[in-house]
Amino acid sequence: MKNLTKQRIQITTCPCGNQQPYRQCCGRYLDEGEAAVTAEHLMRSRYTAYILDRENYLLETWHPDTRPISLQLTGQPQKQWLGLTVKRHTQTDADHAIVEFIARYKINGRAYRLHEISRFVREQGIWFYVDGDILEN
């Protein structure tokens, strides 16, 4: 079953909203181990990882100073992810960036929006999610 899901994703557009095939977009990072070239690419791949329940990827791309031990994705209510909108991506210097985004999802038929300004840092050429501020809508 998992292989069928993976195959279907590879021939459809990437869940991150970039209008590219999964394999050429977030699949490069999630499945092939490439390092994201920008903080926005990392944020988009992390959104896709949430959709695919790829907790290991989410933890690996979280900066060690702020990384939780576990996300416990399997113990939370099932989310139906509806889409991602990147509002802005600002690189504040060579190794720091912020990405503001809105992720839409449903739980038990009720719609929610996660509006966050996320902070990223690049260390030894690799981008990491540090933390973020959730904005009230």
The pTM of the full predicted model, rounded to 2 decimals, is 0.89
Residue type, 90: T
The structural domains of the chain, with segments of one domain joined by +, span 2-135
Question: For residue 6, what pLDDT band results from cuts at 50, 70 and 90?
Answer: very low
Which pLDDT tens digit goes with each residue over 93-136? 999 999 999 999 999 999 999 999 999 999 999 999 999 999 98
Q: What's the rounded Cα separation, in Å, for the pair 6 and 14? A: 11
Tokens of 98: 């912020």
Which pLDDT tens digit goes with each residue over 56-104? 999 999 999 999 999 988 777 788 999 999 999 999 999 999 999 999 9
Which pLDDT tens digit goes with each residue over 12-28? 889 999 989 999 999 99
The secondary structure of the chain as a DSSP string is -HHHHHHHHHTSB-TTSSSSBGGGTTHHHHTT-PPPSSHHHHHHHHHHHHHTT-HHHHHHTB-TTT--S---GGGSPPPEEEEEEEEEEEEEETTEEEEEEEEEEEETTEEEEEEEEEEEEEETTEEEEEEEEEEP-
* CATH class for the region spanning 2-135: alpha beta
